[in-house]
């Protein structure tokens, strides 16, 4: 179909529970790997007197990548009947957390893998917690290595109820729990013949049902102002439309100033012939606008529509990943950057600290290097912000300490109300 949708899926699970095997299998079953390559690897295994491992496939792709030949194995692409999938392998969860929270990678959904013979382990729970922390709400649980337990339904049901109860406690609902054998191929692309008692989807079907993140143009209009230029007698407001759509004639509002205007023209260069001027633009495009009235607005403000504006605030709650040597604590002063705004920020409270090595929460007033925590920031002046769950582009913040990036995070809530309207 022309409207194939892209879904980014992270795969997590206890080491050795079969992530690489499942990924190799999925690549193979979806035609991502030439049959000749598999035959070649099987021949190598046979020559060495070793059983063929699907994870060899990933290793061999990794080797090719090291030589600059093929794909990045931490981001594997394949297609299901209606989706383009990017499977993100999470090598270490600290690294993954950092990437997710600072915006380097974003997952729309997750596969959580459990070895049927090992059951739910501490690491499995930590990974569940990680998904909760990152706000990944679509999770499919895969119970792998069913061959090791003779495809016993009772074993599967026990794991299923334990993991769904755990996830539910975190507010994460498993969209499916699927018994498979990645090695044998049962339940991956084809219904497992040895699990006739299971009526749910295959892994591929489950992947096909994940919803992609909402496209940026479907979200409310957000254009952070990059610069305001003045020439002739006109003012031009320039920025990039991060989300939503903008049209000539539309009423807009700038936050935090609350100033209102109507879009008069969308300027392009070279100047188009009369009648061919641009009248609308959508997310992803740079825009230079003139307005119907002279108002004073600044870099850092966010342009939106009056009925769906970001809130102006001086207090936000942020879930951040901290990278700097010095611990973050109450009173630490930083520079906060959200979209094009810049402001001094002081830590007013530290609410929760998580050690990503163990993903355990502990009471602390300090967030150390490589830890995750929730803090309340007090800003030196109002900025416009959205909670991350409403808009990832204007709900993400970068923090600097001593001129260097020291952390980054998601805006969990905007604590002040609307700024007073001028
Ligand atoms: P990872 O560490 O999670 O990537 O795990 P691997 O994919 O490397 O698998 C770890 C071990 O489990 C390997 O020896 C695999 O052959 C084995 N394994 C993976 N899937 C299955 C399966 O479905 N059944 C059985 N019996 N072994 C499996």
DSSP assignment of 58-109 equals HHHHHHHHHTT-S--TTEEEEE-SSEEEEEEE-SSHHHHHHHHHTTS---SE
Report the pocket of ligand 1 as residue ranges, CB < 6 Å: 13, 15-21, 53, 55, 144-145, 147-148, 181-183
The answer to whether residue 65 scores a pLDDT higher than 60 is no
pLDDT at position 61 is 65
Query: Best mutation site among 19, 62, 183, 192 for ligand 1, i.e. most ligand atoms within 8 A of its Cβ?
Result: 183
Residue 49: which pLDDT band, with cuts at 50, 70 and 90?
Answer: confident
Give the residue-averaged pLDDT of 172-197.
Answer: 94
Least confidently predicted of 7-11, 94-98, 199-203, 252-256: 94-98
Closest residue by Cα to atom 22, ligand 1, is: 145
Q: Please state the pTM of the whole predicted model.
A: 0.75
The predicted pLDDT at position 71 comes to 43
Question: In DSSP terms, which residues pair with 83 in a beta bridge?
Answer: 5
- For residue 303, what are the contacts with CB-CB under 8 A and spacing of at least 6? 221, 222, 223, 224, 225, 237, 239, 246, 252, 253, 254
Look at ligand 1, atom 19, and give the residue with the nearest C-alpha.
18
Q: Which atom of ligand 1 is nearest to the CA of 21?
A: 7
pLDDT digits (tens, 9 = 90+) for 111-168: 999 999 999 998 888 788 878 777 788 999 999 999 999 999 999 999 999 999 999 8
Quick one: pLDDT band at residue 271, thresholds 50, 70, 90?
Answer: confident
Length of the chain: 422
What's the confidence (pLDDT) of residue 30? 86
Digit-coded pLDDT (tens) for 299-327: 999 999 999 999 999 999 999 888 899 99
Q: Which mutation among 12, 27, 28, 55 tests ligand 1's pocket best, with the greatest number of atoms within 8 A of CB?
A: 55
> Residue 280 pLDDT > 90, yes or no?
yes
Q: Spell out where 166-310 has E strands.
A: 174-179, 223-231, 234-240, 245-247, 251-255, 260-266, 280-282, 286-291, 302-304
Atom of ligand 1 nearest to the CA of 53: 16
Q: What percent of the chain clears pLDDT 70, i.e. is strictly above it?
A: 88
pLDDT higher than threshold 60 for residue 420: no
pLDDT-based confidence at 63, cuts 50/70/90? low
Confidence of residue 251 (pLDDT cuts 50, 70, 90): very high
pLDDT exceeds cutoff 70 at 70: no
In ligand 1, the atom with minimum distance to the C-alpha of 51 is: 16
Percent of the chain with pLDDT over 90: 52
The pLDDT, as a whole number, for residue 237 is: 96
Closest ligand 1 atom to the C-alpha of 184? 23
pLDDT band at residue 62, thresholds of 50, 70 and 90? low
* Alpha carbons 386 and 368: distance in angstroms, whole number: 26
User: Mean pLDDT of all residues in the chain?
Assistant: 87
Of 141 and 398, the structure prediction assigns the larger pLDDT to: 141
pLDDT of residue 242: 95
* 247 neighbors 44 (Cβ within 8 angstroms): no
């Amino acid at each position: 179909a022309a409207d194939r949708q892209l879904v980014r899926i992270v795969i997590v699970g206890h080491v050795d529970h079969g992530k690489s095997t499942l990924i190799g299998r999925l690549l193979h079953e979806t035609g991502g790997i030439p049959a000749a390559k598999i035959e070649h690897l099987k021949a190598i295994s046979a020559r060495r007197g070793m059983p063929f491992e699907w994870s060899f496939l990933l290793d061999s792709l990794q080797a090719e990548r090291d030589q600059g030949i093929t794909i990045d194995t931490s981001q594997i692409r394949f297609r299901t009947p209606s989706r383009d999938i990017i499977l993100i392998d999470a090598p270490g969860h600290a690294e993954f957390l950092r990437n997710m929270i600072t915006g380097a990678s974003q997952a729309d959904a997750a596969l959580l893998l459990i070895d049927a013979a090992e059951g739910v382990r501490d690491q499995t729970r930590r990974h569940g917690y990680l998904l909760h922390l990152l706000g990944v709400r679509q999770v499919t649980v895969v119970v792998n290595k069913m061959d090791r337990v003779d495809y016993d339904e009772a074993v599967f049901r026990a794991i299923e109820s334990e993991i769904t109860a755990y996830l539910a406690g975190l507010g994460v609902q498993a969209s499916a729990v699927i018994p498979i054998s990645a090695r044998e191929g049962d339940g991956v692309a084809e219904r497992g013949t040895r699990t006739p008692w299971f009526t749910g989807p295959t892994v591929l079907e489950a992947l096909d049902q994940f919803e992609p993140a909402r496209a940026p143009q479907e979200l409310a209009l957000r254009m952070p102002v990059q610069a305001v230029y003045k020439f002739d007698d006109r003012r031009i407001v320039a920025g990039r439309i991060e989300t939503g759509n903008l049209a000539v004639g539309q009423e807009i509002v700038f936050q935090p100033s609350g100033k209102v205007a109507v879009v008069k023209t969308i300027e392009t260069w070279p100047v188009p012939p009369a009648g061919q001027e641009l009248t609308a633009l959508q997310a992803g495009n740079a825009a230079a606008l003139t307005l119907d009235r002279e108002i004073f607005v600044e870099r850092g403000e966010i342009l939106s529509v009056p009925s769906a504006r970001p809130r102006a605030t001086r207090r936000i709650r942020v879930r951040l990943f901290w990278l700097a040597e010095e611990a973050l604590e109450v009173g630490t002063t930083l520079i906060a950057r959200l979209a094009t705004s810049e402001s001094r920020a002081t830590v007013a409270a530290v609410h929760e600290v998580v050690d990503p090595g163990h993903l355990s929460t502990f009471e602390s007033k300090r967030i150390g290097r490589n830890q995750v925590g929730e803090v309340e920031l007090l800003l030196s002046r109002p900025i416009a912000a959205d909670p991350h769950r409403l808009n990832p582009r204007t709900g993400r913040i970068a923090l600097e300490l001593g001129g260097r990036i020291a952390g980054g995070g998601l805006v969990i809530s905007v604590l002040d109300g609307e700024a007073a309207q001028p």
